Amino acid sequence: MEVALNSGMPNLRIQYFRGPVWGKTNDQLRKQIIEGNNPITGKPVMQEIIGHLTRPLTADEKKTGELNPGRGPAAFTGTPDELQQLFLDKRMTDFLPITLPTEDKVEEMLKATSHEPDEILGKMNPGSEAGDVWTYTVRDAAVNAVMAGAKPEYFPVILALGSTGTTPVNVSDNGFMAGAVINGAIREEIGLNSDIGAVGPYAHANTVIGRAWSLLAINGGNCGKVGTTYMGTVGNPVNLTNIIMAENEENSPFQPLSVRRGFKKGENIVTLFMGWGILSAKNWKANVWGSTMNYPQIIKDIYAQQDAMFGTIAVLSPPIADFVKDAGYDTVETFTEFVTDAGAAKPKPKIGGFGMRGGNFTVVVTGGSNNNYFMMGGMVPTVSVKIDDWR
Amino acid sequence: MKLRTAIISVLCLGLACSAGILGTQAYGQGKGAVEMPEITVLSPMGTPPPITLKAQAPRLDTLDGKTLYLVNTGFVGTERLMEVMTEWFAANHPKTTIVNKRNPSMDVPNKALWDEIHEKADAVILGLGH
């Protein structure tokens, strides 16, 4: 529907049937789709398709001209309770209570950047071709940052994320998620957690920055509307606050991710990720606990089990990173060569029309040193942005 | 009756003690609280682009004697769906000519194919699969 609307045909005749198509035998396709009924109207699918092709066009279907939906009212007035309800009713929230974005609070947020409030910060859509590209300003980002509960000192990071136009709330029925890794002194400056619980939700800066990014996507990029711009078949709970990681540079034996991506050490950089998510490496049988542990081989074995679409991310706690270094891998690059069998044949780059990133392997070091635990999953770095450009 | 009252009193006392031990603090103002004043907040919305409306293609009066292209855009499973759909047309609309084609990309229309469709097809069913 969103694609039809944005292609200029809001009344395009759409045929619904009991999906999905793929993975089914000819017999299943015949019974469930071709000889089946539209689950909404209850009428035979093929009868409706013939109707779509032969029924004369209505006046609405012949319409030309311009449709300008606009951004709606610039402000809303009411009691705090009424406004909380209004934001819910208009689906301008993530369903959690918000900090109401009064002009004073938004002005305070805007003081944290030298950029003009009316500057176009970015353009975003829900991903793929679903939905047209919306535009949002620095002020729009400030409003959403206030709603998320952000402190003004977080705002440059939120702007850096917003400037990429990358949605963390993707339309895909796969249920994609997003993450970001932050390097540089800003980690300490704004209180990002890079120690125990680093990827968990219980650190104000990490969680609120991630929430602000998702709220900006909902309101600035028309994302997260279940059934139209959010089609995750079973969804992804990470979409609420994303995974905002600060690398534990102080306890890592390796160069920070930002340096490995070409930036100077100490620069404040945020690197965006997209993928499926991460979970404890104990999830894989390759990670069997014993009296001595060969973590490089365990990571390699888990890597071998990963899907090619987003490649692999290893989020190593400092003790695991130390194990890797002690095994003779002085840099992430040499470790990556071992893990990915550099020079070996890579997975085929295309499956079902999607571009695959087979062979991609990323290491991030974060978390505490209270145990030999780590996480792995499917996430690929997309773009890195200088945070200080948004001060 | 007196015994029941005594038990209820003890329970109430217990609850009161628990509240004290837990350090419970009332945040709400309860009855008689002053009604909240109205405030004004800013909209968080971005700006959607204007949409140029397009008139849809005129419809056919019948499929009999017409040429219908079934285009598979390449998502896994679509080819099979089009195969079954072709069988259905053969059985139910034998006077319609069905032409099966494959667009090389899921996202980008192939110019040569669309030129051919403009020239030869009376209607198209585009199979997105999924």
One domain, residues A27 and A118: no
**Does one domain contain both A9 and A147?**
no
- Six token digits for residue B38: 């109205």
Residue to test with chain A: of B35, B51, B62, most A Cβ within 10 A: B51
Give chain A positions within 8 Å (CB) of B40: 75-77, 102-103
Asked whether the predicted pLDDT for residue A308 surpasses 90, the reply is no
| A54: nearest CB among B51, B59, B80 | B59
Residues A287-312, mean pLDDT to the nearest whole number: 93
Residues of A in contact with B42 (CB under 8 A): 74-75, 101-103, 106, 139, 143
> Which amino acid type is present at position B121?
A
- Cβ-defined contact of A68 to B50 (cutoff 8 Å): yes
For residue A135, the chain B residues in CB contact (below 8 A) are: 46-47, 49
Convert the pLDDT of each residue in A261-279 to its tens digit: 999 999 999 999 999 999 9
Determine the pLDDT at residue A7.
83
Higher pLDDT, B29 or B75: B75
| B123:A53 CB<8 A | yes
CA distance A143 to chain B (A): 5
Query: What's the confidence (pLDDT) of residue A1?
Result: 75
Say if A122 falls within a structural domain: yes
pLDDT of residue A346: 55
Mean pLDDT, residues A170-196 = 96
What six digits make up the tokens of A283? 């999830």
Interchain CB distance below 8 Å, A22 and B130:
yes
Best mutation target among B29, B36, B43, B60 (most A Cβ atoms within 10 Å) is B43
d(CA A390, CA A367): 27
Range of the domain at A252: 80-390
Structure confidence by residue, pLDDT tens digits, A159-181:
999 999 999 999 998 999 999 99
Mean pLDDT of A216-243: 95
Domain count, chain A: 2
3-class SS at B97? strand
B83-115 burial: b if 16+ Cβ within 10 Å, else e: ebbeebbeeebeebbbeebebeebeeebeebee
Contact (CB<8Å) B75/A56: no
Determine the Cα–Cα distance for residues A383 and A223; give it in Å rounded to an integer: 20
Contact A29 B59 (CB under 8 A): no
Whole-number Å distance between alpha carbons of A246 and A368: 12
Chain A nearest-CA residue for B86: A34
Sign of CA dihedral A201, A184, A120, B41: positive
- What is the band of A69 on the pLDDT scale with cuts at 50, 70, 90? confident
Cβ–Cβ below 8 Å for A54 and B60: yes
Say which of B40, B54, B85 has its CB closest to residue A8: B54
The overall average pLDDT reported for chain A is 93
In this predicted structure, the answer to whether residue A292 has a pLDDT above a threshold of 50 is yes
B54 to chain A: which residues are within 8 Å by CB? 7-9, 64
Pick from B55, B77, B93: CB nearest A22: B77
Asked if pLDDT for residue A200 goes beyond 50, the answer is yes
Phi and psi at residue A82, to the nearest 5°:
-60, -40
- CA-nearest residue to A128 within chain B is B107
The per-residue pLDDT for B15 is: 39
The verdict on residue A70 lying in a domain is no
Q: Closest to B54 (Cβ–Cβ): which among A54, A64, A137? A: A64
Residue B16: the pLDDT is 39
User: Do A360 and A234 share a structural domain?
Assistant: yes
* Mutation to test the B interface, candidates A22, A84, A215, A228, most B Cβ within 10 Å: A22
User: Per the CB < 8 Å rule, is B63 touching A67?
Assistant: no
Per-residue burial over B22-45, b if 16 or more Cβ lie within 10 Å, else e, is eeeeeeeeeeeeeeeeebebbbbb
Pairing of β A243-246 and β A177-183: parallel
CA–CA separation, A253 vs A323, rounded Å? 10
**pLDDT range class, residue A142, cuts 50, 70, 90:** very high
Chain B residues with CB under 8 Å of A163 CB are none
pLDDT 10s digits, A10-45 = 899 988 888 888 899 999 999 999 999 999 999 999
> Across the interface, which of B44, B56, B75 has its CB nearest the CB of A12?
B56
Looking at residue A343, what is its pLDDT?
Answer: 62
Q: Quick one: pLDDT at residue A130?
A: 61
Contact A143 B105 (CB under 8 A): no
A9, A11, A21, best to mutate vs chain B, most B CBs in 10 Å = A21
Residue contact A29–B58, C-beta within 8 A: no
Which amino acid does the sequence have at A112? A
In this prediction, residue B105 carries a pLDDT of: 82
Whether B24 shows a pLDDT value over 90: the answer reads no
pLDDT at position A380 over 70: yes
pLDDT value for B109: 82
Which of B47, B62, B77 faces A21 most closely, judged by CB atoms?
B77
Pick from A139, A119, A128: nearest CA to A173: A128
How many other C-beta atoms can be found within 10 angstroms of the C-beta atom of residue A369? 15
Least confident among A61-70, A205-214, A215-224: A61-70
Mean pLDDT of the A237-254 span: 98
pLDDT single digits (tens) A110-135 = 999 999 999 999 999 998 666 679 99
Q: Over 90: is that where the pLDDT of B3 sits? A: no
Instruction: Among B29, B35, B40, B41, pick the best mutation site for testing chain A contact (most A Cβ within 10 A).
Output: B41
Examine the domain organization and report whether A56 and A87 are in the same domain.
no
Identify the pLDDT of residue B65.
97
- pLDDT score, position A187: 98
Do A159 and A44 share a structural domain? no
Domain borders along chain B are: 67-127
Amino acid sitting at position B95: K
Residues of A in contact with B94 (CB under 8 A): none
Predicted local confidence at residue A132, as pLDDT: 77
Which of A35, A61, A220 lies at the smallest CB-CB distance from B46? A220
The residue length of chain A stands at 391
In a domain, A72, yes or no: no
According to the model, what pLDDT value does residue B27 have? 43
% of chain A surpassing 70 pLDDT:
95
Cβ atoms of residues B69 and B117 within 8 Å:
yes
User: Per residue in A90-103, pLDDT tens?
Assistant: 999 999 999 999 99
On whether both A138 and A45 belong to a single domain, the answer is: no
Query: What is the average per-residue pLDDT within A308-322?
Result: 95
Q: Please check whether residue A118 lies inside any domain of the structure.
A: yes
In a domain, A67, yes or no: no
Min distance A377 CA to chain B CA atoms (Å): 25
Establish if A90 belongs to a structural domain. Answer: yes
- Whether residues A121 and A148 share a domain: the answer is yes
Q: Are residues B55 and A64, on separate chains, in Cβ contact within 8 Å?
A: yes
